[in-house]
Amino acid sequence: MKVFITDRTFNNLVKKIDIDDLSDYISLSEFRNKIFDDAGLYSLFNQLDLKRLLVYKEILINDGKFQGYNFLEPEEDSKQFVYSRGGTFKYHLSFKCEALNRSYIDVFIPEEVKENELEDDFRDWFVELDKENKYINRIRGNSVNKEKIHKEILREYIRSFAKDNGLKGNKFNDKFQFIIEGKVSYIENDYSFDLEVFHEKINHYQRLKECLPIGPVINYLYKHDYLNNRKVDKLKEEVIRLLEKNNIEFGKDFFKNCPIEYVKEILVKHYKYKQEVIKLLKAFFRWTYSFDKIDFKIVDLEKLGLKCCGICAKNQSNFLQFLP
C-alpha cells in the first residue's frame, strides 16, 4: 500500500536516519561526488548540514528504503503556539487526505507569558476568547484586515489576561503578530520545478556568500548555527566561550576590527543564505528523484515511530466495511 508523508515529517525523519557507510567527515570530494557537484558551495555548510543533505538524497535515491535508524520520538510541545502542541508524526493512506494538504492558522504565545510559564493558562484563555469564532474564523475570510484582528486580540490580552496574571502587557515589539498562517503540503512545487531558475538562484546565493568576510575565526563561527539566534548583548560572551573552549586563537584586537554588531550581521546573513541553498537543493533532489513516487513502507515508518493519521485510518475502516 502506498503511503504519504509531508515534507516536514520527511525532514524530521532525515534527522533520525543514518545510512550505511556514512563517513564521520564529509570531504569536499565526497560532497561533489555524492551531494552536489559545486565546490563553491561546500564551505557554506557544516558537517551536520552535509550529513542531512546526503541522507535526504540517499533516501530518495533508494526509494524510501533505509537500514540504520533511530526511533523518532513524538514531537515535543514547544509551547510556542496555542493549537500546535507537538505529538506523534503521521503517515497518510491517501494523498487526498485533508490533513496532508491544508492551510492552518495558529496563535503565538507572547514572550512574557512564556517567561512566566503561563503557556497553558494562555491557551485556555485564548480558546475561551475565541469560542464564538471571533478571530480565527474571520482570518479565513480573504478580505479581512489582519492587523485589525491582531489589535483586537492585543486589546483583550492587556485588558484581561495580562491584568489577571500581573503581567505588564508591554513587551511587544512592532513586528509581533498573534496570528500565524501556514500551509501543510504533501510536496512543494515539484511539478513546477525549473532547472534554469534553480541554477540562477544557486549562483545568486553563491555570489552573496562570496561578499561575506572570511578568515579562520569567522569561518569557524559560520559553522555554528545557534550563534545567529543570540541577541547582540549575549553574543560576544558566547563567541569568546566557544573560541576559548575549542582553542581557536583570536587576537585581542579581533572585536576592535570586527565589532560584535557586525559579527551578528554577517552570521545572520550567512545562515540565511545557507538555509535558502538547502531549500533549493532539497527541491532539486525531490524533483530529480521524484519524491511523490517514493514507496515508503508502513512497517518501516512504524518502526520509526510514525502512526497512521486518524482521518485516514477512519476512512480506511469505512472502506473495509463495505468489502465482501
Binding site for Zn ion (CB under 5 A): 92, 97, 99, 309, 311-312
Cα→Cα distances 141→25, 82, 131, 176, 222, Å: 51, 20, 17, 21, 43
Residues 6, 185 contacting (CB under 8 angstroms): yes
Least separation in angstroms between CB 298 and Zn ion:
13
Beta carbons within 8 Å of 45's beta carbon, 6+ residues apart: 31, 53, 274, 278
Give the Cα separation of 5 and 14 in Å (integer).
12
**Residue nearer to Zn ion on the CB measure, 244 or 295:** 295
Report the residue number, 129 or 311, with the smaller CB distance to Zn ion.
311
* Interaxial angle between packed helices 47-61 and 260-288, expressed in degrees from 0 to 180 and rounded to the nearest 10: 10
- At closest approach, how far in Å is the CB of 258 from Zn ion? 50
Which is closer to Zn ion, CB of 13 or CB of 97?
Answer: 97
Collapsed DSSP state (helix, strand, coil) of residue 231: coil
At 96, which amino acid appears?
A: K
Radius of gyration of the chain (CA): 23
Q: Which is nearer to Zn ion, 247 or 318 (CB)?
A: 318
Least distance from Zn ion to the Cβ atom of residue 191, Å: 21
Q: How far is the CB of 184 from Zn ion (least distance, A)?
A: 11
Q: Which three cell numbers stand for residue 322?
A: 463495505
Residues whose CB is less than 8 angstroms from the CB of residue 241 and which lie 6 or more positions away in sequence, other chains included: none
- Distance in Å, CB of 38 to Zn ion, minimum: 37
Q: Which is nearer to Zn ion, 19 or 311 (CB)?
A: 311
Q: Which is nearer to Zn ion, 118 or 312 (CB)?
A: 312
What minimum distance in Å lies between the beta carbon of 305 and Zn ion? 17
CB of 6 to Zn ion, least distance (A): 10
CA distances from 132 to 137, 155, 156, 157 (A): 9, 17, 15, 17
CA-to-CA distance for 286 and 292, rounded, in angstroms?
A: 8
Is the CB of 92 or the CB of 286 nearer to Zn ion? 92
Residue with cell 550581521: 265
CA 246 from chain centre, in angstroms, equals 28
